[in-house]
Amino acid sequence: MNPAGVPVYTVSQVNGYVKDLMDGDPLLAGLLVRGEVSNYKCYPSGHHYFSLKDENASLRCVMFRGEAARLRFRPANGMRVVAFGRVSAFPRDGQYQLYCAELMQDGRGALDEAFEKLRRRLEAEGLFNEENKRPLPRYPRRIALVTSPAGAAVRDMLRILGARWPLAEVLVVPVRVQGAQAAREIAAAIHRVNNRADIELIITGRGGGSREDLWAFNEEAVARAIYLSNIPVISAVGHEPDVTIADYAADLRAATPSNGAELAVRLCERPPVRRFPPPVFRGPSRTGGAVCPGGEGVWRGADFP
């Protein structure tokens, strides 16, 4: 029973009141929070959702597409970060969260910690077991390159493949190899190539860069796509000192993209002498530096650049 004179509020009014209180608190309007990333998800909308946790508590966080586009690294579960933003309530469900405007790595050790944590977990699941490694074909007739269509790495691989084994056809499957969407594109491309019956070998990788630049190849989605592939996979990422999770999952690790091409095919005694300009990519056009899925291009022996 309602005592006389005591007002009754709706749920919306209570949640709105709590939101107004939090929005009016100057401490919550802009603060730095240190924690470990967990439950990290990046949706097709470009929005990032995750939690920050410490030994005793967790805090829900959201980073919208505009802010996320400025990220200089790929967040990962287990990574220690410092987030800047405001804390506010979401009236619809009455929960509060940190609206993250900036996200910074909490020291170099955070990447190493995230790398080792994922490596140990996938190793325990058997993803890196030698008995699961697939043998590479001796003379592959069709090879898929899952990599960026721009830059020196893809041209080096095409040149070496054309010189060493001109009978091969090479399908270039364009993907981003850096940034928030890169791991998802790489994994999807590997799955897509596996739906084809004509591909005998996959090479995936990119040229050198910082640890952050190469981080897409340390993502769980890429490792699992390589592990689940029915087609042998060579991982060719960065330079000799660079080691990624993809290297552990792959059937063969190459020191560089050029080395990946060398390992993929045996040297032909009589390389082709004809030279032609590289063909134009077929499929959707590429604008503004973004790669459109399905814009594959096929090179044949003497057509390699």
The whole-chain average pLDDT of the chain stands at 85
- In this prediction, residue 282 carries a pLDDT of 36
Give the Cα separation of 125 and 166 in Å (integer): 39
If you ran DSSP here, which 8-state letter would residue 290 be given? B
Q: Domain 11-108, CATH 2.40.50.140 — does that match? A: yes
- In this prediction, residue 55 carries a pLDDT of 84
pLDDT in tens, 25-59: 888 988 899 998 999 998 889 899 999 998 889 99
Beta strands 80-90 and 31-42 are antiparallel
Task: Give a three-class secondary structure readout of 84-123.
Answer: EEEEEEECCCCEEEEEEEEEEECCCHHHHHHHHHHHHHHH
pLDDT in tens, 81-104: 899 999 999 888 889 999 999 998
Sheet containing strand 169-174, edge to edge, reads: 252-254, 233-237, 201-206, 142-147, 169-174, 297-300
pLDDT in tens, 137-151: 988 999 999 999 988
228 phi/psi in degrees, rounded to 5: -80, -10
**Position 172 confidence tier, pLDDT thresholds 50, 70, 90:** very high
pLDDT in tens, 115-125: 888 999 999 99
> Can you give the residue ranges of every domain in the chain?
11-108, 137-303
pLDDT beyond 90 at 7: no
Q: How far is CA 47 from the centre of its chain?
A: 15
**Is residue 156 within 8 Å of 183, Cβ to Cβ?**
no
pLDDT in tens, 242-277: 899 999 999 999 999 999 999 998 765 554 444 434
Give the Cα separation of 262 and 225 in Å (integer): 23
Query: So what CATH class is 137-303?
Result: alpha beta
